[in-house]
């Protein structure tokens, strides 16, 4: 039976179509979810895509966090539903308190768009089990508010608990503390990543195929999950 992966569209979403295509290429059925509809329509996992939800008013992700669909997603994620937040989706996960810390304005105050090398630090999550620990991947980054910040106690806990999922290599594009590019919750089902794996799934349009592993990982996870 084909896994069904929901991709949420908020007002101002930019990369929902790309995320849905990545889900399809990985071998799952993409299911488009609408911000105003609290129903998840029986999906097995959810992707919160990149973009500028609600115009990034107040703070990036601050309004999207109150969307009807997010109330359902928060409850489902706490129950084990795999959720991947990409860029703006990462910001939304932090605003919804599914992940700690916050994403703030890039330290250099410029929007940064480039192909970025990452090192995969944790392969024990629902979204990274297809990688090897320490594997280096090439994935585009494009953000203006991508600087991950948290207090020292939170950063130390993320390190100690193995919850840093990926780090920037070859230069930090936004000033994120400890070069953090992605983190996970304690259960490993919720992952937030600032770079865009959905833009690295096809040779024609991406710098590599390295992003595909995030989407095939969740299918592997779902196969092994208890019924």
Q: What value, to the nearest 5°, has the Cα angle with vertex 204 and ends 134 and 139?
A: 25
Catalytic residue among 35, 196, 199, 221: 196
The backbone region for 97, taken as left when phi is positive above 0, alpha when psi lies in -120 to 50, beta otherwise, is left
d(CA 209, CA 56): 30
The backbone region for 41, taken as left when phi is positive above 0, alpha when psi lies in -120 to 50, beta otherwise, is left
d(CA 184, CA 208): 24
User: Which residues lie closer than 8 Å to 41 by C-beta, 6 or more apart?
Assistant: 4, 6, 31, 33
Q: Is 198 a catalytic residue?
A: yes
d(CA 88, CA 146): 9
Catalytic residue among 95, 121, 145, 198: 198
Catalytic residue among 87, 145, 199, 221: 87
Q: At what angle do helices 212-224 and 16-26 cross, to 10 degrees?
A: 60
| Residue 190, SS3 per DSSP | strand
Answer whether 119's CB lies under 8 Å from 131's CB: no
Cβ of 203: how many Cβ atoms within 10 Å?
9
* Residues annotated as catalytic (active site), given as ranges: 87, 196, 198
């Amino acid at each position: 039976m084909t896994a069904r992966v929901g991709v949420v569209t908020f007002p101002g979403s930019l990369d929902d179509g790309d995320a849905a295509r990545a889900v399809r290429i990985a071998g799952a059925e993409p299911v488009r979810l609408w911000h105003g509809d609290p129903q998840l329509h029986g999906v097995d996992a959810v992707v919160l895509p990149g973009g500028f939800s609600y115009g990034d008013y107040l703070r990036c992700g601050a309004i999207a966090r109150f969307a009807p669909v997010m109330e359902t997603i928060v409850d489902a994620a706490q129950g084990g539903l795999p959720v991947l937040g990409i860029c703006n989706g990462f910001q939304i996960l932090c605003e919804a308190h599914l992940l700690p810390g916050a994403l703030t304005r890039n330290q250099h105050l410029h929007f940064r768009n480039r192909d970025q090398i990452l090192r995969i630090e944790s392969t024990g999550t629902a979204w990274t089990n297809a990688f090897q620990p320490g594997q280096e991947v090439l994935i585009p980054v494009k953000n203006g508010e991508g600087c991950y910040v948290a207090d020292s106690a939170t950063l130390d806990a993320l390190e100690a608990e193995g919850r840093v999922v990926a780090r920037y290599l070859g230069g930090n594009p936004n000033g994120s503390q400890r070069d953090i590019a992605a983190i996970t919750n304690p259960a490993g089902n919720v992952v937030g990543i600032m770079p865009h794996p959905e833009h690295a799934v096809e040779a024609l349009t991406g710098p590599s195929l390295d992003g595909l592993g995030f989407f095939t990982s969740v299918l592997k996870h779902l196969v092994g999950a208890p019924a």
